[in-house]
Amino acid sequence: MKDLFDTTYINELVKAFGKAAVRVKKSGFDEVIIHGAHGYFISQFLCPYYNRRTDEYGGSIENRSRIVLEIYKEIRKQVGDDYPILIKYNS
């Protein structure tokens, strides 16, 4: 298993989110939802309690939310401008 602290692996995951969204669109769904709540992967990046990173993905809220924006941009690039992208996250 790859180290989750490896930014190369993070880049691979971002691309994988985009590919998954394409599969969702091709399957005929009306939208794709990024699940960033309930302690899952994205939620852990957003939460300062869990995210103890010292690189560009940790520290400030801007850095902790970087991965969410990268995932969104990758999905948008792959599904196009006319396909709805929603995100669910904890408040």
Catalytic residue numbers?
A: 40
Phi/psi region, residue 23 (left: phi>0; alpha: psi -120 to 50; beta: rest), is: alpha
Cβ–Cβ contacts within 10 Å for residue 7, how many?
A: 12
